[in-house]
Structure 1
């Protein structure tokens, strides 16, 4: 399955804004949050697993469908880089010129747009 970058961003934002620390919900319930309504359960599940493997989210138990309850520091850093909608749109547009882009490269591209906004480049 292909990792949907928009789903990555939307899952991270949902965990940060809607789930919070130690709130209990199931992976299947994640699709009912506003940002995730347009994704099917397989996309969300795959995304959550990959975010956990990347150490962007914590407290995951696949066997009982317990989703993450919080972002890791690494997850917060990545989300802070892609949080701004304008930066995210520019990042997606810039990265659309190649067939695949890793999350690390997306973060680098987003960082360059942030630096431009702050007149640091």
Structure 2
């Protein structure tokens, strides 16, 4: 088998194509979630807190030259992204949850075997 044929067999397997689509959609979705967190959630949560502390920008927070504000901003951003993803995955799982199938009754074979058993008990 030639190199081109091997590469073609590898590149166009279902798993590789599905993975590529997942990565592309994940990158686009990551931008949406990042924008939601940075532009909507973080300002709504942090602006009142920062005004109470007296810092208009979280990146300005520092102590003895250690800029812990940047780290704090990254932690808060991570927690917000994790919470949004948790809510989205929870909603997706609730929507895609398969309906529970009621257990089927006994098969004809089981009914016949039960009748035979009962007849043998009665003798």
Report the TM range for the smaller structure's normalisation. Answer: under 0.3
TM-score, reference length from structure 2: 0.23
More helix by share: 2
**Superposition TM-score, scaled by structure 1 size:** 0.23
For the pair shown, the structure with the greater C-alpha radius of gyration is 2
Ranked by relative contact order (alpha carbons within 8 Å, sequence separation 6 or more), the top structure is 1
